[in-house]
């Protein structure tokens, strides 16, 4: 990507950057399992819609639990399946990325931009494959952050976003990639 394309992507991402900063500011201050304001902002930012009350209760309770113990992508993916019987790699990654801002999110744009292929929801070994895909995304980011293009993305973000110090390098690239569809 060229600097002007990166700049355009950042401009398109400004609303999302503000929403993200608000979520990450609130996160350590609230009980995510009970704070409806946080949940509403989180759901709006990550576009989590049309889930049952039980789903939200399980999800945000596990997020709160993650403040006190190490919770990895694999754990969240398995927990949601064990309790709710659902396969949720995207939402699992978003929970983990909130606990650990240096972790990537899983969505169709990131899958595409990192050269991965998501397992089908009907695939026999989709959980095992999803864990491999997520690890591959993590490795892609680790390489990309160090690459010339990654450094350009980060430096452009830092130049254009006043609150850049509150955003990890991985998330800076994530915001740019999410806008390049």
Question: What residues does each domain of the chain span?
Answer: 3-179
13-25 pLDDT tens trace: 999 999 999 999 9
Instruction: Please tell me the pTM assigned to this model.
Output: 0.93
Supply the mean pLDDT for the chain.
95
What does R_g of the chain's alpha carbons equal in angstroms? Answer: 16
Work out the pLDDT band at 181, boundaries 50, 70, 90.
Answer: low
End-to-end CA distance of the chain: 13
**Exposure on the CB side of residue 163, measured as CA atoms within 13 A:** 15
Owner of token pair 């990895």: 72
119-157 pLDDT tens trace: 998 999 999 999 999 999 999 999 999 999 999 999 999
pLDDT-wise least confident of 57-66, 115-124, 149-158: 115-124
- The structure tokens listed for 18 are 């503000």
Owner of token pair 């169709």: 108
- Whole-number Cα distances in Å, 66 to 1, 40, 47, 94: 36, 19, 21, 13
**C-alpha torsion 69→135→95→164, nearest 10:** 100
Average pLDDT of span 64-70: 96
């Amino acid at each position: 990507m060229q600097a002007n394309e990166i700049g355009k992507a950042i401009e398109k991402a400004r609303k999302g950057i503000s929403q993200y900063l608000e979520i990450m500011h609130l996160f350590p201050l609230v009980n995510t399992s009970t704070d409806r304001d946080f949940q509403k902002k989180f759901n709006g930012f990550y576009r989590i819609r049309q889930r049952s009350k039980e789903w939200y209760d399980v999800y945000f309770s596990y997020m709160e639990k993650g403040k006190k113990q190490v919770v990895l992508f694999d754990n969240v993916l398995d927990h949601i399946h064990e309790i709710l019987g659902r396969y949720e790699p995207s939402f699992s990654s978003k929970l983990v990325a909130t606990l650990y801002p240096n972790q990537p999110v899983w969505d169709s744009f990131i899958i595409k931009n990192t050269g991965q292929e998501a397992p089908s929801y009907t695939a026999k070994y989709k959980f095992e494959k999803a864990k491999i895909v997520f690890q591959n995304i993590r490795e892609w980011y680790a390489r990309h952050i160090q690459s010339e293009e990654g450094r350009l993305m980060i430096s452009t973000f830092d130049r254009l976003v006043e609150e850049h110090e509150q955003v990890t390098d991985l998330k800076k690239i994530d915001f740019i990639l999410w806008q390049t569809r």
